[in-house]
Structure 1
Amino acid sequence: MAAETVCAYEIARRGQWSGPAETVTLSYDDRFLRRKRLTSDDGTVFRVDLPEVTNLEAGDALILTDGRKIAIAAADEALLQVTGPGLTRLAWHIGNRHTPCQIAEDCLLIRHDHVLADMLAGLGATLMPVTAPFTPEGGAYGHGRTMGHSHGPEDHDQDHDHGDHHDHSHA
């Protein structure tokens, strides 16, 4: 009979836990989950079964049913480093496309995307491919990422204007 897989039902956020922990290294997309089978960097197989879809950030920890902790690490990913004059303006154009963006003092980091690269170059940006962990800014409405505007029936209790002053296309 095979041993039962341990499970993680809860999260301890960065700064709210301590002690020894294994690590699981996940991409930006993989850190957005509810139920999934994962393997830690040390080979521990475990199941994640959270009450809702959750954004995990580097430094958070999953608490296993046997009491162990699995710390979340951000994986290296193919990114574009955006620099140049008018960095604030460039950030606005990235945000206007509901694109996740990591903001540093002297540059912006986005996931590699040739369409955005062409747009940003046309606006005067200097782009350099880099490989690094991607930890973009969280959403304005709470912990973790925002999912843009879905405009499904469940979203229309939001109190914001849907005028023609921003583009929802993802060109």
Structure 2
Amino acid sequence: MLTLTQLKPANPDLAVTLTLALTAEERTRSRHRFEVEDGKVVFLRLPRGTVLRDGDILQDETNENLIRVVAKPEPVLTVIASTPLLLMRAAYHLGNRHVPVEITSNYLRLLPDPVLRTMLEHMGLEITAEVLPFQPELGAYGHHHAH
């Protein structure tokens, strides 16, 4: 079992031993046991509050293995608006509900929720159910390492 204790900045050119595909929720766990595709077990032992991002590099306690974190595709709702103001209004209402949201200038993305979907549809937004990597905002008080 590999015990991953160090977090390194993303580096696409770095040769890695393994890739660890994690959902958005799994990337918020700083101490957890995961099984990778080939059946190997890895254990995260990172500082509490660490949030992993797509591309981050984890190093094991022996400094021999490098593992790349990949945002795992998961079911999401992608929200598109006819105007920037409508998209901002949707972000405001989702924020009031403390919902994890991926925010871009063209769309919002959130985990599937029938109540929120209905609310957004009533606001006149276009909703598409997809399976994609989900990378929500960390929030004003989110803890994350600097890249």
| Fold match by TM threshold 0.5 | yes
Q: Which deviates further from its counterpart, 17-26 or 80-89? A: 17-26
CA contact (8 A) 2:76 2:132 kept: yes
SS in 2 for 1:54: coil
Residue 78 of structure 1 corresponds to 75
Residue 35 of structure 2 corresponds to 39
| Structure whose alpha-carbon radius of gyration is higher | 1
Cα distance, 1:143 vs. partner?
Answer: 4.0
SS in 2 for 1:128: strand
CA contact (8 A) 2:50 2:143 kept: no
Task: State whether structure 2 residue 69 is matched by structure 1 residue 69.
Answer: no
The whole-number CA distance in structure 2 between the counterparts of 1:12 and 1:137 is: 20
Which of 41, 46, 58 is residue 50 of structure 1 equivalent to? Answer: 46
Change (3 A) 1:128 1:89: same
Indicate the structure whose relative CO is greater, using CA pairs within 8 Å and at least 6 residues apart: 2
CA contact (8 A) 2:20 2:70 kept: yes
Residue 100 of structure 1 corresponds to 100
Task: State whether structure 2 residue 128 is matched by structure 1 residue 138.
Answer: no
For structure 1, list consecutive stretches of 5 or more residues without a partner in the other structure: 145-171
- Tell me the TM-score normalised to structure 2 length: 0.84
- Tell me the TM-score normalised to structure 1 length: 0.73
Q: Percent identity?
A: 33
Matched to 2:74, the amino acid is: E
